[in-house]
Structure 1
Amino acid sequence: MTISLGIEEEFVLLDPETLRAVPLADCAIAALGGRDTVVREYFPSQLEFASPVLHDAADALASLARFRCGLAAWAAEAGVVAAATGTPLHPEPAGGQDWAGRYAQIADDTRWLTYDHQINGLHVHVGIPDRATGIVALNRLRPWLPVLLALSANSPHWSGVDTGFASWRSLHSRRWTTYGIPPHFADVDAYEMAIARHAGIGATSDPRTINWCARLSPRYPTVEVRVCDSQLGAHSSVALALIIRALVGTADDANAAKSPDAGVWDAALWHAARHGVSATLVDPDTMTLAPARAVIAKLAAAVTTGLTVEENAAVCGFLQRVIAEGSGADRQRIALASGGRAALGQLLRDALSDSWPGVVASAVGVKSGDLVRPVTPRLDRGDPTAAQRNGSP
């Protein structure tokens, strides 16, 4: 039986010269919302696209690509850059925002923190038959969440500078009341008790403000994975969604019972945010640092049985490209360093509707075991961790 899938992508609108976030999301939504589920996000420069219920990779890619093409066309006409990035180069200036409803409550609870929450993520929903199945899936996902963050890292800049982190978005998120790897739950009752105990603490005004990197959706019969940065291209969003669905779909009591130590995995998450795929990651089996490409190869092997032949080819192609060229953070960092704001803006424009043509075809025949072969990066990144690129600590 095919497991259903849902994908939410968040975007930010930027001035084409300064790449500063501009509050024009309502205009985009008015132009695009009639055809798709598109809503304002937290800041008026942000919007979110929510896919319909999806059942295969082709449907997922078509859905995301169709919306992205419409958004790209609107942005070109409006004279702005619509960017699929975890953080903008320059955020909106603090102050003057007018929040309503539950966003007003969140803004009041978080005070000055709220102005830094100009972050954009990729959220993946995977259908589950019941919440007990979801708990098993959450426990399975826990040690893989840092790896997913590393693969999806796409937010190296903030306030016009290179932060030195691959995912600065995740550093912003860590400052809120809840974030990170969810606890290991024995059963649904333990999960529900944890949710109830958080009520009213800090900025936890409702169950939707429980911001663990993976959770049972408060609204849908799904496991919701929220760890990933927004992705430059639609193909990478779909590949990450397929990986997540495969991890959920192959979860059982044996592979979900590993590594209940939350402290290690939160540290692993910070490590992934800092280095992305450039150096090492925490191995889910040994709980020790290992070369990033070796941990990625383990992930590829872990999800193979949950993918069709075509899906496995697309996933392996995505992983090969990330190993060879780095994540979206690396691509953004290179663009800004080599060509300034103009080059970064062009990358964001081109990537919005770039479905990585040919990547699936080129991935046919690639096996998960091939991912451990030494790969010479084709680009000179020039970032703070360039000396660590070949997996050395």
Structure 2
Amino acid sequence: MTTFGIEEEFIFLDPRTLTPSDVGAAVHDELLGRARESRFVSHEFLASQIERSSPVFSTAGQAEADLVTFRTRLAAQAERRGVVAAAVGTPFMCAGWPSVTDSERYHQVEAEFRGLVTDHLINGTHVHVAVPSRDAGVAVLNRVRTWLPTLLALTGNSPYWHGADTGFASWRAMHMRRWSSGGCPPPFADADDYDRRLARLVGVAGTYDTRTVWWNARLAEGHPTVEIRVADAQLDAGQALLVAALSRALVVTSLAEAERGDPPPSVDPELLDAGLWHAARDGLGGDLLDPVALELRGSREVVHRLLVHVGDALDAEGDHERVRSLLDRLHADGTGAERQRAAVRRGGVAALGELYRTALVARA
């Protein structure tokens, strides 16, 4: 089986106002080393955040057990401090300049990106999938890039900003567009081409090292993986597991296509960029860019096309039934953005905070 791992970013919020609460360092110190599931906890950019990198998984079952266990521990630590741990792309409410975690790297980001920092209260889900080489990884990037809008539509979970509904499923994705190296990666000839073009970006537009190239999919630094990072943080473990399983299937499918010599799909970059914007706005609530037909189609039709495209890989990894079940639940309950809006309609800020608490520890 192809191995994978998941990075999740969480934000701590005041339970009454759902504004960020700067307890990330205290929770980090308490969790670190306490259990196997907590070994890979790290600080994030803001003092109100925490990041957790999972162990390497072979099966979705392993991932499910691990994610639920860690999220349960995280929720308990948040409750001890009188805050809510939320897996959302953006907080419901924020005000003023956020507190940056006290580290040399994060202060350099703050210095380079200046006024953008005030809006950088964003949290994502990043999926790492193993590849046999960097050249193979580039072949994967050239193919998965066309499906990034579909993954974004499935995972939009940030409809609110400053207490107002933005009208977007993923306001986080719109914030990311303002940074100098976001969006879909361009196509590359091979790994040498990738490395050469990445190196040329260093020093330009705030990109002070290769890790600050924030494409929605990239080769990981220091790991033999492709990192797919288009998704918002996911309300519950099931939604995180869904994007992980689909990401793995896309990578496995892409590797098989490259081995057969199938050329990567050709999608005009401006169309792909517009498709990402469209997915960030409408999520699954309207049409999506069909990367095969190269036109807007109904979201369910495009998601079905994705399932057909990766069907053999889902079978090979033993994920087909689980993915279909998680997709059925997603269509029934709504994306994270839709569930957040439903909670606010039902009971305002209090109901939204309760959704954050209960979803965090729900089983996949």
Which residue in the other structure is 1:338 paired with?
A: 346
Which residue in the other structure is 2:142 paired with?
A: 139
> Are the equivalent residues in 2 in contact too, given 1:57–1:311 (CA < 8 A)?
yes
> Are the equivalent residues in 2 in contact too, given 1:177–1:203 (CA < 8 A)?
yes
Task: Tell me by how many angstroms 1:337 deviates.
Answer: 2.2
Which residue in the other structure is 2:282 paired with?
A: 275
Which residue in the other structure is 2:293 paired with?
A: 286
Partners of 2:327 and 2:262 lie apart in 1 by: 22
Task: Tell me by how many angstroms 1:144 deviates.
Answer: 0.4
Partners of 2:95 and 2:66 lie apart in 1 by: 29
> Are the equivalent residues in 1 in contact too, given 2:174–2:280 (CA < 8 A)?
yes
Partners of 2:262 and 2:94 lie apart in 1 by: 41
Aligned residue pairs, count: 355
1:220 maps to a residue whose letter is: H
Q: How big is the alpha-carbon RMSD for the aligned residues of Structure 1 and Structure 2?
A: 1.4
Query: 1:249–1:80: structure 2 CA closer, same or farther, 3 Å change rule?
Result: same
Partners of 2:99 and 2:270 lie apart in 1 by: 38
Answer yes or no: is 1:257 the counterpart of 2:264. Answer: yes
> Are the equivalent residues in 2 in contact too, given 1:293–1:323 (CA < 8 A)?
no
Question: Identity over aligned residues, as a percent?
Answer: 45
1:311 maps to a residue whose letter is: D
Render the CA deviation track for 1:187-210: whole Å, top value 9, x for unaligned: 112211210121111110100000
Task: Tell me by how many angstroms 1:97 deviates.
Answer: 3.8
Render the CA deviation track for 1:80-133: whole Å, top value 9, x for unaligned: 110000000013631554542111111101001012111000000001110111
1:179 maps to a residue whose letter is: G
Out of 202, 205, 212, the residue aligned to residue 202 of structure 1 is 205
Partners of 1:314 and 1:92 lie apart in 2 by: 40
Out of 332, 336, 346, the residue aligned to residue 324 of structure 1 is 332
Task: Tell me by how many angstroms 1:269 deviates.
Answer: 0.2
Query: 1:278–1:98: structure 2 CA closer, same or farther, 3 Å change rule?
Result: closer
Render the CA deviation track for 1:334-382: whole Å, top value 9, x for unaligned: 11122100000000000001124xxxxxxxxxxxxxxxxxxxxxxxxxx
2:322 maps to a residue whose letter is: A
> Are the equivalent residues in 2 in contact too, given 1:136–1:256 (CA < 8 A)?
no
Which residue in the other structure is 1:234 paired with?
A: 237
Gaps of 5+ in 2: none
Query: 1:129–1:326: structure 2 CA closer, same or farther, 3 Å change rule?
Result: same
Partners of 1:103 and 1:197 lie apart in 2 by: 22
> Are the equivalent residues in 1 in contact too, given 2:128–2:225 (CA < 8 A)?
yes
Partner SS for 1:250: helix
Higher relative CO (Cα under 8 Å, sequence separation at least 6) belongs to 2
1:110 maps to a residue whose letter is: F
Which residue in the other structure is 2:363 paired with?
A: 355
Which residue in the other structure is 1:25 paired with?
A: 24
2:16 maps to a residue whose letter is: E
Gaps of 5+ in 1: 357-393
Query: 1:77–1:100: structure 2 CA closer, same or farther, 3 Å change rule?
Result: closer
1:271 maps to a residue whose letter is: H
Deviating 4+ runs (over 4 angstroms): none
Render the CA deviation track for 1:244-266: whole Å, top value 9, x for unaligned: 01110111235551124211111
> Are the equivalent residues in 2 in contact too, given 1:182–1:262 (CA < 8 A)?
no
Task: Tell me by how many angstroms 1:65 deviates.
Answer: 0.9
After the TM superposition, which of the residue ranges 238-247 and 258-267 deviates more from structure 2?
Answer: 258-267
Partners of 1:326 and 1:106 lie apart in 2 by: 35
Which residue in the other structure is 1:266 paired with?
A: 273
TM-score by length of 2: 0.95
Task: Tell me by how many angstroms 1:219 deviates.
Answer: 1.9
> Are the equivalent residues in 1 in contact too, given 2:45–2:100 (CA < 8 A)?
no
